[in-house]
């Protein structure tokens, strides 16, 4: 029963965070549109505007990614899959869900994915370097 209550609490947290992110993204995107519509006075103003646009854009990207994770977690709750690891199908410990409510993998599987994913990225970048060297 305690896990069920904790899951209901996590659902409420996810919904509040989702709503806050939606509002923030709506504000961020309208701010970006306003910034693009304004004309700058000089080169320094243009550079500052560009830097601010970049920061706003990156923030919106991070918030969008988090929103997608939250939407996925809420979908998993509706389908009864929430709290179950996508890889090994074991229950994700409540401590992990409390720390990261939209976690889809247990910590062991997440570490394995990160370990193997990082190695593949290095191999790919090494291959592209080798290809560049062969071409020249």
Q: Sketch out the chain's domains with CATH numbers.
A: 2-82 (1.20.120.910)
pLDDT score of 102: 94
Which H/E stretch holds residue 95? helix 94-99
Helix (H, G, I), strand (E, B) or coil at 84: strand
What value does the mean pLDDT of the chain take?
78
pLDDT score of 69: 95
Averaged pLDDT, 127-133: 41
Higher pLDDT, 28 or 100: 100
Averaged pLDDT, 103-126: 74
What are the residues whose beta carbons fall under 8 Å from the beta carbon of 103, sequence distance 6 or more? 92, 96, 97, 110
Higher pLDDT, 15 or 1: 15
Higher pLDDT, 127 or 115: 115
User: pTM of the prediction?
Assistant: 0.64
Helix (H, G, I), strand (E, B) or coil at 72: helix
pLDDT score of 21: 85
Cα-based distances in Å from 111 to 49, 100, 104, 107, 118: 39, 14, 12, 6, 10
Closest CA to 36 of 22, 56, 21: 56
DSSP code of residue 109: H
Q: How confident is the model at residue 108 (pLDDT cuts 50, 70, 90)?
A: very high
Cα-based distances in Å from 49 to 33, 63, 75, 80, 93: 12, 21, 38, 46, 45
DSSP code of residue 49: H
pLDDT tens digits, 18-66? 988 888 877 766 665 665 555 555 666 666 666 666 776 788 788 889 9
User: Is the predicted pLDDT of residue 73 greater than 70, yes or no?
Assistant: yes
CA distance 97 to 89: 15
Closest CA to 63 of 19, 111, 107, 7: 19
């Amino acid at each position: 029963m305690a896990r069920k209550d904790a899951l209901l609490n996590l659902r409420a947290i996810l919904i509040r965070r989702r709503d806050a992110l939606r509002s923030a993204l709506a504000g961020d995107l309208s701010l970006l549109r306003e910034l693009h519509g304004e004309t700058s006075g000089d080169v320094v103003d243009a550079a500052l505007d560009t830097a601010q646009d970049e920061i706003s854009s990156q923030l919106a990207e991070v918030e969008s990614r988090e929103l997608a994770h939250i939407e996925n977690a809420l979908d998993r709750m509706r389908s009864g899959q929430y709290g179950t690891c996508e890889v090994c199908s074991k229950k994700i410990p409540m401590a992990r869900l409390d720390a990261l409510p939209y976690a889809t993998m247990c910590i062991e599987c997440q570490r394995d994915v990160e370990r193997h994913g990082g190695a593949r990225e290095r191999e790919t970048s090494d291959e592209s370097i080798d290809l560049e060297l062969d071409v020249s």
